[in-house]
Amino acid sequence: MTHPGQLLKENGLYAGKELGQNFLSNPATAEMIVEKTGIDETSHVLEIGPGLGALTVHIARRTRNLTVVEKDRRLVPVLEKELAGRDMTHVQIINQDVLRQDIPAIAGDHPLVVIGNLPYNISSQILFKLVKDRRQVKRAFLMFQKELAERISASPGGKSWSRLAAVVQYAAKVSTV
């Protein structure tokens, strides 16, 4: 994996604050995250916000069924180049806002494992979308800002309990990995 700072600099790009972008830079961390998902070659994976490919490369090594949805059109050519340089031509890249993406169309007849390092500013919206499309989602491994993760996993009646926690916990078993 090429360091994100180097990729951004080489391509005259920057992390967009308006998109809440943050990039994983440690390959060992990315590998550990993907390993914990338990995906294998038969898994159908949807990665939300692949960015520069820090997780994508590790996911693509484990499965032949990977679709990534990236909103930032500036990053798509960089991601394509990174994947092509590793002969990872089996990754389908969709340049679109995941909130407008037809997740059932991506899933087809196969339940998805959803993976994403989500920007804080739309994490709640993405969770509501995944709850809505939960019949197509087998499991989801999502990275959040610590405060949001605590809200999602809050117990009923506690001060952090919220509509988001209630909806997500109704639809899924929530745990911290």
CA-CA distance, 173 to 177, in Å (whole number)? 12
The closest alpha carbon to 30, from 60, 69, 75, 72, belongs to 60
pLDDT in tens, 152-170: 999 998 888 999 999 999 9
Cite the DSSP H helix spans in the chain.
4-10, 27-37, 54-62, 76-84, 103-107, 123-132, 146-152, 163-171
Q: Is the pLDDT of residue 121 over 80?
A: yes
pTM for the full predicted model = 0.89
Give the H or E element holding residue 69. Answer: strand 65-70
Question: What average pLDDT does range 20-38 have in this prediction?
Answer: 81
At residue 6, the pLDDT reads: 67
% of the chain surpassing 90 pLDDT? 68
Q: Taking a C-beta distance cutoff of 8 angstroms, is the pair 118, 48 a contact?
A: yes
CA-CA distance, 171 to 94, in Å (whole number)? 26
Strand 112-117 relative to strand 65-70, pairing: unpaired
At residue 145, the pLDDT reads: 86
142 pLDDT band, cuts 50/70/90, is very high
CA-CA distance, 139 to 158, in Å (whole number)? 26
Q: Taking a C-beta distance cutoff of 8 angstroms, is the pair 7, 82 a contact?
A: yes
Q: What is the DSSP string of 32-52?
A: HHHHHHT--TT-EEEEE--TT
